[in-house]
Amino acid sequence: MWTRKRRLAASEEPPAAQVTGNAESRGPEIRIRAFRIGFVGALGVLVALLLGGIVGQLGTVILYVALALFLALGLDPVVSWLQRRDLPRWLAILLVVVAVVGLFVGLIATLVPIVIEQTKILIEDWDAIVEGVRDSDFVGWLNSLVGGDAIQQAITAGGDWLADPDNLGSLTGGLLAVGAGILGGFTGATIVLILMLYFLASLASMKRYAARFVPASSRPGFRSVSEEITGSVGRYVIGQLSLGGLNGVLSLIYLSIIGAPAPILLAFIAFLGSLVPLIGTLTGAIIITLVCFAASPATALAAAIYYLVYMQVEAYVLSPRIMSRAVAVPGALVVIAAIAGGTLGGVLGALVAIPVAASLIIIVEKVVFPRQDVL
C-alpha cells in the first residue's frame, strides 16, 4: 500500500508555471514587468552616455589636474627637504614655486626670441637651404643607389611646396589656429602652476581626507600604501626631470660644438624628450638629427652618432643610478602607457601615463598580491 502511494505521488507532475502579468494565477507566479525593466535599462544607458560625454568634455581639465598633482608629488620631496632644514612649510613651498616659475619664465624668455630669429632666417634663406640639401654629397649618394635624380627632384618639389604661404597655412591650420594653440598652451601652463601650488599646500590634508573613505580597520594599510605611492611617484618625477636636465645640458654643449642650428632650442627638445622614457629620447634624437641636416649632412651624422651613444649610456648607466629608488616600471608597460597617454592627451598625457602605471604597479604589489597569497 505504501509503495503504491509513492508511485502515484511520483507519477503526478507539478502544476505548470503560468506566466502572467497580473496577480491572479493558479500556479507558481513569474511576474514580468517588461516596461519597467526596459525603462530602467534605457535610463541607465542614457546616464552612462551623459557621464561619458561629460568626461570627454572635461578631458583637458582632468589632464591638467593629473599633471599638477604629479608635479606636486614630484616637488614634495624638495619641500620636505627644506622643512628638515627648519623652514616652515609655507616658506618652503614659496621658495620651490618661485624657483619653478622663474625657470619656466626664463625658458620662455630664452626660447621665444630664438624661435622668432630662426624662423626669420629660415624664411629668408629657404631657397639656399633647399639647394644645399639637394646638392649635398649624401643626396648624391642616395641618387646613385636609386638611379637618376628622383630624390633631388622630390626635394625641390617639397621645398617649392613649403615655400608657398598658402600651403604652409593649410599645413599648420592657419595663423589663427597657431595663435590659438600658443594661447592655449600658456593658459594650460598657468592653470597647472596654480593647481600645483594648491596641491603642494594641501597634500597632507588631502591624504587624511582620502583615508576617511576607507574603513577604520584598513586605514593603517591604506596610509602605508598611499605614502609609498606618493613617495615613489615623487622620486620618479624628480628622476625623470634630472635625466631630462642632464640630456638638455649635454645636448647644448655638444650641439654648440658641432655647429648645429639653434642649439638652445634643440637642447630644450632633448630635455622634453627625456621626460618620456624609452621612446622620448629616441623621438627627440630623430627630430634633432633631421634639423641638423639644415646645417650639413656631416652635422646630422655627428648628432646621430652622439645620440646613439648617449641612449646606451642613459639606459645602462644613468637611468639605473638615478631611478634606483623609484618604482621599477617594465619597459613594455612604459611603451604601452606612453602610447596610450599620448593618444588620449598628447605630450602631457604621455608624461602623466608613466607615473600612473607606476602607481598601479605599487597597488598590485602591495594590495592585490598579498590578498591573493592569503586566499
* Pair (82, 195) in one structural domain: yes
pLDDT-based confidence at residue 158 (cuts at 50, 70, 90): low
Confidence of residue 174 (pLDDT cuts 50, 70, 90): low
Q: Is residue 62 very low, low, confident or very high in pLDDT (cuts 50, 70, 90)? A: confident
234 and 360 housed in the same domain: yes
**From its phi and psi, is residue 261 left (phi > 0), alpha (psi between -120 and 50) or beta?**
beta
Does position 17 have pLDDT exceeding 50, yes or no?
no
Is the predicted pLDDT of residue 295 greater than 50, yes or no? yes
Q: Which of 132, 166, 201 is the last residue of a domain?
A: 201
Q: What is the pTM of this model?
A: 0.65
How many domains does the chain contain in total?
A: 2
Same-domain check for residues 186 and 240:
no
Give a yes or no: residue 353 inside a domain: yes
In the chain, the percentage of residues whose pLDDT exceeds 90 is 2
Claim to verify: residue 93 and residue 141 sit in the same structural domain: yes
Q: Are residues 268 and 312 in the same domain?
A: yes
Domain presence at residue 183? yes
* Domain match, 247 and 293 both: yes
| 274 and 238 in a common domain | yes
pLDDT class of 305 with cuts at 50, 70, 90 = very high
In a domain, 28, yes or no: no
- Residues 290, 257: one domain? yes
The last residue of one of the domains, among 149, 169, 201, is 201
Q: pLDDT tens, 108-150?
A: 777 777 777 776 776 666 667 666 666 666 666 666 666 666 6
Residue 150 belongs to a domain? yes
Question: Which domain, by its residues, includes 75?
Answer: 60-201
pLDDT value at 48 more than 70: yes
178 plus 256 within the same structural domain: no
Statement: residue 3 has pLDDT above 60: no
pLDDT at 116: 76
In a shared domain, residues 193 and 247 = no
Q: Is 317 part of a structural domain of the chain?
A: yes
225: pLDDT confidence band, cut at 50, 70 and 90? Answer: confident
**13-27, 115-129, 245-259, 278-292: least confidently modelled range:** 13-27
Domain membership flag for residue 12: no
31 within a domain of the structure (yes/no): no
- Mean pLDDT is lowest, of 4-8, 148-152, 367-371, for 4-8
Residue 85 predicted with pLDDT over 50? yes
Domain's final residue, options 143, 166, 201: 201
Residue 13 lies in a domain: no
In this structure, the answer to whether residues 253 and 307 fall within a common structural domain is yes
Tell me: pLDDT of 172 over 70: no
pLDDT band (50, 70, 90) for residue 8: very low
161 and 83 co-located in one domain = yes
